Structure 1
Amino acid sequence: MSLIKHGTRSSFSSSLRSFLLFHPRLFSYVADEKKVYASNSIIHPSAIVHPNAVLGEGVSVGPFCSISSSAKLGSGCQLYPGSHIFGNTELGDNCMLMTGAVVGDDYPGYTVIGSNNTIGYHAVIGVKCQDLKYKPEDECFLEVGHNNDIREHTSIHRSSKSTDRTVIGDGNLIMGACHIAHDCKIGNNNIFANNTLLAGHVEVEDYVHTAGATVIHQFCHLGSFSFLGGGSVVSHDVPKYMMVAGDRAELRGLNLVGLTRRGFSIEEIRSLKTAYRKIFICADITAASFDERLAQVEQHEGMIQVPAVRAMLQSIRDSFAEDRRGICKYRHWNGS
């Protein structure tokens, strides 16, 4: 069985494997008398691997890497030169740490990363938070799902306290130089463009797309299938399916391109557009308050039967709960 499953990145591992073919004693790295790593693990002689670390089948550890005593690596993981795993950290199968990546922290708590994740060049994942309320003796946590592509220079921090967690779901693309702060909850299949910055306690649902240099205030919620324009400063919630832009970000309509790409039907999109117009675009803004317009749509027998419309209305309502920040501002367009 080949140790390298990613053909485009095989040059480093192939060279390392060729080197080890002439140094067979390195194939079985004896940590101590009672422990032998898997016979097909490849550990460069300059790497520092603690004897208590647990390595799965086919792990490749490049030059000048380090792995802590509490680390657990699944099968097929690859550590490129100069990458490091600290503290109580667990990697699932087939994870890849590019050069300079740092995962985990020696502070109390843990970092758990699922399978098939790529940690980019010089990314820093699972270290202590930047919250002044943090106490070094507290256990803090980061949990990352599967199939995430976390690009270069990204930072993702553990929670700020033992009663919470920072959570990243599955299938997310987190581009270069992004920051995800303590206690954030990120769903699945999101795309964060370069320099997207999330403050603490931000919640992101699924299929959210941010353009570059987007900044999200702490405790904001981003609803599924929403789009945040480049350079936006988001200080309030973004409801499901909506598009915002600006400083401070304002609602700019529905994310029609994103909805179409994700397979929403023509009828669903038409119903969402009708509901959006009735709530946010009114020829006479003095005719009814925002709450009254929202209630009128909720009581409309035709629109309320559409699940997407119900989801959007619930997302708006949830944003006005006691502990929430309300939705982004919207322009008072007239109907002409």
Structure 2
Amino acid sequence: MIASSAKIHPASVVEDGAAIGENVKVGPFCHIGPNVVLGDDVELLSHVVVIGRTTIGKGTKIFPGAVIGGDSQSVHHSAVDTTLVIGENCTIREGVTMNTGTVEHGGTTVVGNNNLFLAYSHVAHDCRLGNNIILSNNVMLAGHVTVEDRAILGGGSAVHQFTRVGKQAFIGGLSAVSYDVIPYGMLNGNPGVLSGLNVVGMTRAGIDRPVIHAVRRCYKQIFEGSESIRANAAAIRDEYLDCPPALEILDFIAAESDRALSSPNRGGKG
């Protein structure tokens, strides 16, 4: 079904079965598959391919050369239809690729709201992305990666499969993210090494200076303590019950994960 207010260039192809919302704009030479849902006010500039069982939220804008909803690039991909769900008000720049999920792991790739994907960044199968995230140019997310709200990934960085990137973490350009990165953490290098806290991002987010100082103290206790990272974190949790950002870090560390934790030393630790 195509809304009467939608504007679709005659040089584009919209296959039967696609659902096109109000005030959608589709420029020339786009291809929209039969199982695609475009929410109200979505805009495809030109030469955009949206295929698979893909839903794109209201107000999202997609630039030329993007391929959204392609099959997972996994040797385990089956012929069973899987899905990609993209939230509202995302900006998806030139050449970005996003894949649907795999049956073995729930079948859905999820992208939240208000995210910015710069040119040629890639979101692989079964990823889970929150809101207000920035993927800079050529960022590569492997399958099953989780990226939490307000994280920023620098250009050319690559994230290993099943890795978690915590809330408001900052990943430096060209970094290799092989292990989980704590919320508010900064990671740089190849292999990636935790290099402190994203204090600039915390300040911009309105976190008060005394709270930032408390999180810094928590960070030192976690990574400079005499026990393992997880043991250190568990031992100090009660000290930070009135400090939500510190608790976010401690809960992130305590959660189950397929990957070790990035640390200030080379390699991951538990």
TM-score (ref. length: structure 2): 0.94
Question: In structure 2, what is the equivalent of residue 42 of structure 1?
Answer: none
Say yes or no: does 1:101 pair with 2:48.
yes
Q: Tell me the CA shift for residue 154 of structure 1.
A: 0.2
Q: Following the alignment from structure 2 to structure 1, what is the Cα–Cα distance between the partners of residues 132 and 176?
A: 22
Q: Following the alignment from structure 2 to structure 1, what is the Cα–Cα distance between the partners of residues 224 and 260?
A: 18
Q: Following the alignment from structure 2 to structure 1, what is the Cα–Cα distance between the partners of residues 137 and 232?
A: 37
Say yes or no: does 1:177 pair with 2:120.
yes
Question: In structure 1, what is the equivalent of residue 147 of structure 2?
Answer: 204
Say yes or no: does 1:325 pair with 2:259.
yes
Deviations 1:262-306 (CA, angstroms, capped at 9, x unpaired): 111112111101111122246xxxx54544532442243xx3321
CA contact (8 A) 2:159 2:176 kept: yes
RMSD: 1.6
Change (3 A) 1:329 1:273: closer
Change (3 A) 1:291 1:81: closer
Q: Following the alignment from structure 2 to structure 1, what is the Cα–Cα distance between the partners of residues 46 and 61?
A: 11
Secondary structure class of the residue paired with 1:275: helix
Secondary structure class of the residue paired with 1:244: strand
Question: In structure 2, what is the equivalent of residue 72 of structure 1?
Answer: 19
Secondary structure class of the residue paired with 1:125: strand
Q: Following the alignment from structure 1 to structure 2, what is the Cα–Cα distance between the partners of residues 292 and 128?
A: 41
Select between 252-261 and 59-68 the one with higher mean Cα deviation: 59-68
Question: In structure 2, what is the equivalent of residue 243 of structure 1?
Answer: 186
Instruction: State the identity %.
Output: 33
Deviations 1:302-328 (CA, angstroms, capped at 9, x unpaired): x3321211111111122xx2x420211
Question: In structure 1, what is the equivalent of residue 93 of structure 2?
Answer: 151
Which stretches in structure 1 are left out of the alignment for 5+ residues? 1-53
Secondary structure class of the residue paired with 2:194: strand
Q: Following the alignment from structure 1 to structure 2, what is the Cα–Cα distance between the partners of residues 144 and 60?
A: 21
Say yes or no: does 1:297 pair with 2:240.
no
Q: Following the alignment from structure 2 to structure 1, what is the Cα–Cα distance between the partners of residues 229 and 117?
A: 36
Say yes or no: does 1:316 pair with 2:250.
no
Which stretches in structure 2 are left out of the alignment for 5+ residues? none
CA contact (8 A) 2:148 2:167 kept: yes
Q: Following the alignment from structure 2 to structure 1, what is the Cα–Cα distance between the partners of residues 51 and 244?
A: 41
Deviations 1:129-156 (CA, angstroms, capped at 9, x unpaired): 11111112x1210111100001000000
Say yes or no: does 1:191 pair with 2:134.
yes
**Structure with the larger RCO, 1 or 2 (CA within 8 Å, 6+ apart):** 2
TM-score (ref. length: structure 1): 0.76
Q: Following the alignment from structure 1 to structure 2, what is the Cα–Cα distance between the partners of residues 289 and 329?
A: 11
CA contact (8 A) 1:71 1:86 kept: yes
Q: Following the alignment from structure 1 to structure 2, what is the Cα–Cα distance between the partners of residues 292 and 59?
A: 56
Say yes or no: does 1:252 pair with 2:195.
yes
Q: Tell me the CA shift for residue 69 of structure 1.
A: 0.5
Q: Following the alignment from structure 1 to structure 2, what is the Cα–Cα distance between the partners of residues 128 and 175?
A: 21
CA contact (8 A) 1:98 1:122 kept: no
Q: Tell me the CA shift for residue 114 of structure 1.
A: 1.1
For this pair of structures, how many residues does the alignment match? 265
Q: Following the alignment from structure 2 to structure 1, what is the Cα–Cα distance between the partners of residues 231 and 25?
A: 57
